[in-house]
Amino acid sequence: MRIVVLGGGFAGMEAVRVLERRLHDRSDVEILLISDRNYLLFTPLLPQVASSMVEPRHIVQPLRDIRGSRRFRFRRDTVTDIDFASRRVLMVEGTEAYDRLVIAMGSVVPSFGVPGVEEYALGYKWLEDGIVLRDHLLDAAEHADHEADPAARRQMLTVCVVGGGYTGVELIAELQDFFASYIVPRYRGIDPGDYRLLLVEAGHEILRGVHPTLAERARRKLGREGIEIRTGARVTRVLPGAVEIDGAEQLPAGLTVWAAGVTGHPALAHVAAERDRLGRLVTRATMQLKEHPDVYGAGDAVTIEDNAGASIPIIPAALAQARLAAENIVAELQGRSLGTIHFAPQGMLVSLGERDAVVEVLGLRFSGYAAWLFWNALHLVKLVGFRKQLQVALDWGMAQIFPRDSTIMRPVSRCPVCGRHAAPRTRERDAA
């Protein structure tokens, strides 16, 4: 019996963990994990990579370290298709057969067909996005520092974040901290009025799904910090150096970050299975794909039929779905009947930058410094591995004592998001 798990994110790793634990005495069962990245990314801390608060390497855990002495095999490869009829997974570097499959390949950020998103906006999903954004901000600051034209300076230092969900809100709050407490004090050619942060949301409120009192508290806090929030505003085009709102208004922006929702994984777009309007595979309450009982799904890649509450793209939901998928595979092997999903979110935590957050947990709602401490403590505990917990705790502690690190890390001749040259020497070399 061969169980193959696709995706080394929260859902995939949880499925592997449960399968390992429950099948440790079954030497006839082989477990194979396939993922295109060889690490687990702790996404809640990704906004802090952009603001140079935490080191990128500290929020990821190599899959081979997580594996340790466990017996599952790991293959780093990119899944391109699944042939359900012949029970094979197709990858860039070959194929793998399965008897039971768990699809946990996560989601991607949808462009909703808005022109310019693919070309000019930066998605905010993977570790490399955090590194690129951080380097872009520092590079823009280096150029703005000696830019004589105030309008050009402001445009370089304008960041427009599209999407007022928790990712967009947490990211813009981090950027505000970065500009106010790091960039402005250190770059003498940049004044507080030179940077501009915009949060654009097509819906009528930010943080939809968070209790209205907390969402309003977050909105007021961001507004007080000088972040411009535009709700009921639809981005209709992203241009180099600008963003178009409702087909009419063009706002100059040095960078547009696209954090507008989730959609099903493109590698699964052609597989022979039902998808919802967001492109996510539809599972039954048992986490089996509707048409393929030997294939399970979990995490952002799937939606559960008639159960929107248990299908929200957050980590606790991904973990609960993955646990059930793994337990049901074990139940199948043992000839028992399958369980069904019972999941309801227990709360919501949104960081609003340093020393502020809004939290709703088990019906309790609070905000401010206590909420921020709770946010930090919970995320530290949830980080995988003591080493990473220590590294992130040290990053946070050091940030209270020392300035953040402003080294531009990517050795590129051009900034990959705005195309500006990274350094004068390189400009001369490129021109030559």
Ligand X SMILES: Cc1cc2nc3c(=O)[nH]c(=O)nc-3n(C[C@H](O)[C@H](O)[C@H](O)COP(=O)(O)OP(=O)(O)OC[C@H]3O[C@@H](n4cnc5c(N)ncnc54)[C@H](O)[C@@H]3O)c2cc1C
Minimal distance, residue 243 CB to ligand X, in Å: 20
The letter for the amino acid at 290 is K
Distances (CA, A) of 213 to 114, 171, 232, 365: 32, 21, 19, 9
Minimal distance, residue 338 CB to ligand X, in Å: 21
159/352 Cα distance (integer angstroms): 17
Minimal distance, residue 82 CB to ligand X, in Å: 11
Distances (CA, A) of 368 to 169, 353, 382: 15, 10, 21
Task: Choose between 5 and 156: whose C-beta lies nearer to ligand X.
Answer: 5
| Residue 358 exposed, middle or buried by CB count within 10 Å (0-12, 13-18, 19+) | buried
Task: Choose between 62 and 316: whose C-beta lies nearer to ligand X.
Answer: 316
Task: Choose between 187 and 296: whose C-beta lies nearer to ligand X.
Answer: 296
Minimal distance, residue 115 CB to ligand X, in Å: 23
Task: Choose between 79 and 162: whose C-beta lies nearer to ligand X.
Answer: 79
Minimal distance, residue 402 CB to ligand X, in Å: 25
123/130 Cα distance (integer angstroms): 9
362/286 Cα distance (integer angstroms): 26
* Strands 39-41, 60-62: pairing kind: antiparallel
Task: Choose between 3 and 251: whose C-beta lies nearer to ligand X.
Answer: 3
Minimal distance, residue 270 CB to ligand X, in Å: 13
The contact set with ligand X (CB under 6 A) reads: 6-12, 34-37, 43-44, 46, 78-79, 104-106, 124-125, 167, 265, 267, 299-301, 313-316, 318
Q: Give the pair of three-digit tokens for residue 219.
A: 């909105």
Task: Choose between 42 and 187: whose C-beta lies nearer to ligand X.
Answer: 42
Minimal distance, residue 178 CB to ligand X, in Å: 15
181/193 Cα distance (integer angstroms): 14
Please identify the residue of the shown chain whose CB is closest to the bound ligand X: 9
Q: Are 87 and 97 in contact (CB under 8 A)?
A: yes
Task: Choose between 48 and 328: whose C-beta lies nearer to ligand X.
Answer: 48
Q: Give the pair of three-digit tokens for residue 240.
A: 């180099």
Q: What is the sign of the dihedral through the CA atoms of 360, 364, 365 and 366?
A: negative
